[in-house]
């Protein structure tokens, strides 16, 4: 029976009930598959009911892709600290991602997606207190291109271009996202709630790719914190496209954030009024400050357009934003 506290209309997969569960365990202990990709491959195309993939603890070295014709998948790990999907491809952004989802109506929880290329070098240098500005190569942990995609208590670990928030409406809650250079980028319409952004070297956190004023896309970071090693190592963002827009709302900003805050980058000719976009960091902990760069982006967008509804998956109650209602704008 459906939970009366949940809004089943928020997703398009026949309500909140799970139609079947597939188990994954790398040691093959009473599981259906030993790899996540094999479990995804087993799901029928054009599925219209929720299918849950329960992936047990372990480190799975594989590249994983959910094609556009396989919606309504819910992947759940045993915890982001014990369940990891990892690979080390670093050739090109459109091919190097460890995890790629092109499908609509996708949910993941309690799992880490990692691109391991260069991470051991970075860790060794940090242990010896040697400064390091990183390996300049696309090390994508995840590429998210489907509409209505949500991530709860997940980890995203890489160095450059960690999370490609490419297209669609996306929601991230309680996630940890780690990197240095443009490590959250793309043109998604996305809300990051109570997420931790961990800066590991000199660079920029966001590179949002909104092209036109008429587009509803942008990144909102509500609550959470920006942490990392070093002082003034990172910009909050830089303008990847002419109308890039990002909000940090009630976010704790650590000393790793560079006082300049943002840079116009490729969109220097499109900054209409620099006074709109500048700001001053008053202290290392800012709970009520809104930072807006490239175009003025009203706080009501974070408070109203991104208010939440509840979505239930069996015994779990997951809150998703109002923007998931209806069709993609």
Give whole-number Cα distances, 160 to 51, 123, 229, 310, in Å: 32, 15, 16, 33
Work out the average pLDDT over 312-323: 54
- Distance of alpha carbon 32 from alpha carbon 35, whole angstroms: 9
16-47 pLDDT, tens digit per residue, is 778 899 999 998 878 899 999 999 999 999 99
pLDDT, position 325: 54
Q: Is 29 exposed, middle or buried (0-12, 13-18, 19+ CB in 10 A)?
A: exposed
From the list 25, 110, 182, 187, the catalytic residue is 182
Q: Which residues of 193-205 are buried (b: 16+ CB within 10 A; e: fewer)?
A: bebbbbbbbbbbb
Q: What is the pLDDT of residue 202?
A: 84
β-bridge mates for residue 171, sequence order? 150, 191
75 with 108: CB under 8 angstroms? Answer: yes
Task: Average the pLDDT over 37-62 and give the result.
Answer: 96
Give the pLDDT band (50/70/90) at residue 250. Answer: confident
- Could you give the CA distance from residue 192 to residue 324 in angstroms, rounded to a whole number? 14
Catalytically annotated residue among 161, 165, 213, 263: 161
In this prediction, residues 72-76 reach a mean pLDDT of 93
Q: In 56-150, which ranges are continuous DSSP H helix? A: 119-127
Highest average pLDDT, of 11-20, 205-214, 263-272, comes from 205-214
Per-residue pLDDT band for 321 (boundaries 50, 70, 90) equals low
Give the pLDDT of residue 2: 46
Q: What is the pLDDT of residues 302-317, one digit of tens each?
A: 343 444 544 444 455 5
Burial of 214 (0-12, 13-18, 19+ CB in 10 A): exposed
Lookup result for tokens 């996306």: 170
Per DSSP, the three-state class of 36 is helix
User: What's the CATH fold of domain 8-324?
Assistant: Pectate Lyase C-like (2.160.20)
Question: Is 161 among the residues known to form the active site?
Answer: yes
Structural contact between residues 148 and 168, judged by C-beta atoms closer than 8 angstroms: yes
Whether residue 133 lies in the annotated active site? no
Q: How far apart are CA 195 and CA 118, in angstroms?
A: 24
Average pLDDT over residues 215-221: 84
Confidence at 140, pLDDT banded by 50, 70, 90: very high
């Amino acid at each position: 029976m459906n939970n009366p506290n949940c809004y089943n209309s928020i997703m398009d997969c026949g309500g909140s009930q799970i139609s079947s569960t597939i188990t994954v365990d790398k040691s093959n202990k009473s599981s259906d598959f030993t790899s996540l990709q094999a479990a995804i491959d087993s799901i029928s195309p054009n599925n219209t009911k929720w299918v849950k993939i329960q992936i047990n603890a372990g480190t799975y070295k594989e590249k994983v892709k959910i094609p556009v014709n396989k919606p309504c998948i819910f992947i759940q790990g045993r915890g982001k600290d014990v369940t990891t999907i990892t690979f080390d491809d670093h050739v090109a952004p459109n091919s190097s991602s460890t995890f790629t989802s092109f499908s609509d109506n996708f949910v993941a929880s309690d799992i880490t997606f990692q691109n391991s290329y260069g991470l051991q070098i970075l860790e060794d240098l940090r242990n010896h207190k040697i400064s390091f500005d990183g390996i300049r190569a696309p090390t994508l942990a995840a590429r998210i291109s489907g509409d209505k995609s949500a991530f709860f208590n997940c980890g995203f670990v890489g160095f450059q271009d960690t999370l490609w928030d490419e297209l669609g409406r996306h929601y991230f809650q309680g996630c940890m996202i780690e990197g240095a250079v443009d490590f959250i980028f793309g043109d998604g319409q996305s809300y990051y709630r109570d997420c931790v952004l961990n800066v590991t070297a000199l660079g920029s956190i966001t590179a949002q790719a909104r092209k036109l004023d008429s587009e509803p896309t942008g990144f909102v970071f509500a609550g959470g914190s920006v942490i990392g090693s070093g002082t003034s190592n990172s910009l909050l963002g830089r303008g990847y496209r002419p109308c890039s827009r990002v909000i940090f709302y009630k976010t704790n900003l650590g000393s790793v954030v560079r006082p300049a805050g943002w840079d116009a980058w490729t969109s220097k000719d499109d900054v209409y009024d620099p006074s709109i976009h500048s700001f001053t960091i008053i202290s290392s902990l800012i709970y009520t400050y809104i930072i807006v760069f490239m175009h003025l982006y009203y706080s009501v967008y974070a408070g109203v357009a991104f208010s939440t509804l509840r979505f239930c998956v069996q015994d779990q109650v997951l809150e998703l934003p109002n923007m998931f209602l209806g069709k993609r704008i």
